Structure 1
Amino acid sequence: MTPSRPAAIAAELQRAVWRWHFFAGLLVLPFLLWLAVTGALYLYKPEIERQVYDDWNHVTPGRATLPLETLAARVGASVGGTVTQVQKPAALDESWRVTVRRGDGDLQMAFVDPHDAHVFGTTNPGGVMQTVKHLHSLAITGWVGNWLIEIAAGWSIILVVSGLYLWWGRGRTVTVRGRASGRLFWRDLHAVTGLFAGGLILFLALSGMPWSAVWGHNVQAGVAGAGWGRPAAPGGEGHAGHDLPWSLQQHVMPMGHAGPRIAADRALAVAQARGMAPDWTLTWPEGPGAPYLVSATLGTSGAAHVVYVDAGTGRVLQDAGFKDFGRPGQVIEWSAAVHQGKEYGEANRLIMLFACAALALLTVTAPVMWWKRGPRGRTTLPDARTGTGLLAIMGVAGVLFPLTGLTMLVALASGRIKAALAAAQASRARKSWPSSTT
């Protein structure tokens, strides 16, 4: 019996979705596994740092801390450079982290006892977890790695949506059937994992996009330009910094008076009078007219707080907190805090850890399931044909995420070229057949 037209269209759409789901997985699974592992590590940044820097991280509280200018002078002399930033933790028994710029321009982060300026040791800025963060985004490879991660994040969105569609059309099972030796087991494990973790993985992909090289940078500039991050600042130059909330990193830095500077301790006191949190980061002015920057250590989104203090007069040039951000900026700050497991305590972190583990499991079950298709299934790759409706949906995703869209175009073009070559070869074969005689 010939299937009805709606049934045939549905079957073809199912095949088209599967083809694109297969392509997406083939393209980005290694990167998604990389993101899952490094992201899980970064969730436990405080615990890992305490283990790695255990010998450097403990001080005896109860004594008076040195004035910042004295601390900076002594640490700078000990390390051999000029202090540019001091970070104070919330815990009184933890050492402070002081960033020093050496004569050759190299930056070092020193673990310091704030009571006597004793330097326990130095490492690269941000330490081991900054390295993990750079590995997570592949920033250590430059723009190439940043682009690859952005492409992977965009395709992961397509993977989640297409995977849910495939699950819906294949019986919607929520159990794992069969034995581990069979393909059914791995297919069900893959599908059920995606079902229960798909929403979280989609959230991780979308909330991580603001840090991407192309899409994230442009959105950040748009938020800053529209004034959706914080109130507009008078004059000055851009001030990007890892110690700033995302919404503030491309905003114009307010400028003050050039000339003799006030002491860093006075700038800190001004910020504390504005309600600065006990765990703060103070950055010295970068040049004439540049202000002191005092910011709260990044934690929950609502704790975001940055105060710019005129280095010449001690006047507050700008005081920006979460409530001052525009709604888009607040949403992005909130999603960033949830993404990093900081917004809702340990429960938040455990849920994000589950998402990372599920993502890693999906990247393992997918190739096992493919391998168990057998030699014929492994060697027969799908083409890039797709229907108009699916093409429109993917087109929207491609426009929203341009780098992902470019790879879609490449896949479509390769499919068309492959089809054209096959047609040409078939045509030549037909022409070369001997004419039949009667």
Structure 2
Amino acid sequence: MTIAKNTATSKENAFSLALWRWHFYAGLLVIPFLLALAGSGLLMLLSKPIDSMLMSDMTQVSPEGTILPASKQLSTVQQQFPQSHVKLYIPPSDATHSAQFSLVSHHGGGHSGGHGAPSTTAYLNPYNGELLGEHDSSTTLYASIKTFHGKLYLGDLGDSLIEIAAGLAILMVLTGIYLALQRHGWRDMLPRTSLMNRTDWRRLHSFIGLIMAIPLLFLLLSGLSWTNIWGGKLTQAWSSVPSTTFVAPEAKETHESMNHEGMEHVPWALEQTPMPQSEMTSDMHGDITLDQVLQIANEQGFDNFRVHLPANANSVWTISATTMAGDITNPNQERTLHLDRHTGAVLADLRFADYPLMGKAMTAGIPLHQGDLGLWNLLLNLIICAFTVSMIVGGLMMWLKRRPKKTPALAPPPAHPSANKAVVVLMLIVALCFPLSAVAIAAIISIDLLLISRVEKLRVIFK
């Protein structure tokens, strides 16, 4: 019995060592990206109030008399920007805020900011029609940092690198939970006041890691939903609202066409859903006006919302109130209403209840991920970012304390070949949920077998 027990314990320890080894390798690959994501996420949270302050001269107005009809405001903007098409109207949120009009250039060119820019936002005093200013919505501090946060300024390559890192980070979190709970009890993980040796850093790393596991998994999974492969090709494809939800004819464009550079207006669950289109008949006599659309919005019970203008003869007016755009913070109130551009008839009324399960989860998670639910959410996300950096520092210090001095060796944890193979198979199976991460793991294994194991200098480094 003792021999059997010792054998089982030995196998368990061998498995833990092999898991630790892969936890270590995943950490080496993931740490730069986690630091970049945590740092840029922190800056995004802080940049929102900074952007608001910098643009206050365009967004703030003094109430003076009666607000001009929205159609009159629209006409003023169209006269100021004759080479652009008004794509979006955001009514003033209260009596002290300006009206916003988003425009896209007719020719698709234009310089950064100013007239004709691809994503110009114009701010209008709703009381006297004065143009308060304009800016390219893709060049705000928040938008610039967000581009780095999502793509590292590398386009689709950056998106793929982040997707790989996020998938490996999820595996790292899961293996870290197992290692912490299997090898150490809660009492052995409570951090000490001093950080003198490797054990002290291990306590800190494990303690913060367990506290951060659920929040970090949430941020990683919700963030992955914006990536091209896992988010766009896999998850979003079967989590979008089907076009059978409405009976109007389908357009070629999807709801994603209502987004434009620097601004996201469309719920994640609707981006791949085809748009409805207005009907064309011989008795049509023009379009309904923006004023009529606002009246319909009021009758339909909308409070904070935005209006998407028709882009062509068959497109529609759209009234939307979404968490993605920041109109609202309660996902249950999310709603997208499409109107026939000629008659004002309701063609589709898409609500939170119509979203598939994953679509509902994303809609509920987006404002939490972005820190949009108020001061408590902002502070919570700031703490998560700070704790993530602390956890990374703890892991690095553990490695530096364990790594032999004056040697190029990375000194990964030792692992028995048989146990290591079992963990590799397990990691690959789990990683299949994240295809790009699975490809990365397969590439690491191939490099190890074909290169590192055959080159003496590399064996010294990775031994």
**Residues 120 and 135 in structure 2, CA contact (< 8 A), matched pair in contact too:** yes
1:353 to 368, 378, 382: 382
Matches within 5 A, 1:378-417: 379-382=409-412, 387=420, 389-417=422-450
Matches within 5 A, 1:299-378: 299-343=329-373, 345-376=374-405
1:169 matched residue in structure 2: 182
CA apart distance, 1:381: 4.0
CA apart distance, 1:158: 0.9
CA apart distance, 1:144: 0.5
Number of aligned residue pairs: give it. 422
CA apart distance, 1:225: 6.7
What secondary structure sits across from 1:71 in the alignment? helix
Matches within 5 A, 1:126-165: 127-138=140-151, 140-165=153-178
Say yes or no: does 1:236 pair with 2:251: yes
Q: Which sits farther off after the overlay, 2-11 or 143-152? A: 2-11
After superposition, the Cα gap between the structure-2 partners of 1:58 and 1:289, relative to the gap in structure 1 and judged at 3 Å, is same
What secondary structure sits across from 1:379 in the alignment? coil
Instruction: Give the Cα separation in 2 of the matches to 1:31 and 1:380.
Output: 19
Query: Residue type matched to 2:437 in 1?
Result: T
After superposition, the Cα gap between the structure-2 partners of 1:8 and 1:378, relative to the gap in structure 1 and judged at 3 Å, is farther
Residues 13-33 of structure 1: per-residue CA shift (max 9 Å, x gap): 111111111111111111111
Query: Residue type matched to 2:191 in 1?
Result: V
**Residues 335 and 351 in structure 2, CA contact (< 8 A), matched pair in contact too:** yes
What secondary structure sits across from 2:273 in the alignment? coil
1:287 to 300, 312, 321: 312
**Residues 89 and 280 in structure 1, CA contact (< 8 A), matched pair in contact too:** no
2:137 matched residue in structure 1: 125
Instruction: Give the Cα separation in 2 of the matches to 1:130 and 1:182.
Output: 42
Query: Residue type matched to 2:226 in 1?
Result: W
Which sections of structure 2, spanning at least 5 residues, go unmatched?
A: 109-117, 322-326
Residues 273-326 of structure 1: per-residue CA shift (max 9 Å, x gap): 22222x211111111210011111253212211111111111111111212323
Identity, % of aligned pairs?
Answer: 28
Q: Which sits farther off after the overlay, 44-53 or 404-413? A: 44-53
**Residues 267 and 311 in structure 1, CA contact (< 8 A), matched pair in contact too:** no
After superposition, the Cα gap between the structure-2 partners of 1:192 and 1:58, relative to the gap in structure 1 and judged at 3 Å, is same
Which sections of structure 1, spanning at least 5 residues, go unmatched?
A: 427-438
Query: Residue type matched to 1:239 in 2?
Result: H
Instruction: Give the Cα separation in 2 of the matches to 1:360 and 1:252.
Output: 41
1:436 matched residue in structure 2: none
Query: Residue type matched to 1:54 in 2?
Result: S
1:430 matched residue in structure 2: none
Instruction: Give the Cα separation in 1 of the matches to 2:287 and 2:153.
Output: 36
1:211 matched residue in structure 2: 226
1:17 matched residue in structure 2: 19
**Residues 85 and 282 in structure 1, CA contact (< 8 A), matched pair in contact too:** yes
**Residues 43 and 341 in structure 1, CA contact (< 8 A), matched pair in contact too:** yes
CA apart distance, 1:132: 2.5
Q: Which sits farther off after the overlay, 96-105 or 143-152? A: 96-105
1:5 matched residue in structure 2: 7
CA apart distance, 1:265: 1.8
**Residues 103 and 121 in structure 2, CA contact (< 8 A), matched pair in contact too:** yes
> What's the TM-score once normalised by structure 1's chain length?
0.87
> What's the TM-score once normalised by structure 2's chain length?
0.82
What secondary structure sits across from 1:56 in the alignment? helix
Q: Which sits farther off after the overlay, 331-340 or 173-182? A: 173-182
CA apart distance, 1:119: 2.3
1:268 matched residue in structure 2: 294
Residues 79-98 of structure 1: per-residue CA shift (max 9 Å, x gap): 45332211235333122322
Residues 213-257 of structure 1: per-residue CA shift (max 9 Å, x gap): 1110022122227579x6576421212032111111111100013
1:100 to 94, 103, 110: 103
Instruction: Give the Cα separation in 2 of the matches to 1:19 and 1:96.
Output: 57
Instruction: Give the Cα separation in 2 of the matches to 1:232 and 1:350.
Output: 44
1:429 matched residue in structure 2: none
Q: RMSD over aligned Cα, in angstroms?
A: 2.9
After superposition, the Cα gap between the structure-2 partners of 1:375 and 1:92, relative to the gap in structure 1 and judged at 3 Å, is farther
**Residues 241 and 270 in structure 2, CA contact (< 8 A), matched pair in contact too:** no
Query: Residue type matched to 2:268 in 1?
Result: W
After superposition, the Cα gap between the structure-2 partners of 1:225 and 1:262, relative to the gap in structure 1 and judged at 3 Å, is closer
After superposition, the Cα gap between the structure-2 partners of 1:43 and 1:420, relative to the gap in structure 1 and judged at 3 Å, is closer
1:193 matched residue in structure 2: 208
After superposition, the Cα gap between the structure-2 partners of 1:321 and 1:62, relative to the gap in structure 1 and judged at 3 Å, is farther
CA apart distance, 1:336: 2.0
1:434 matched residue in structure 2: none
Query: Residue type matched to 2:181 in 1?
Result: W
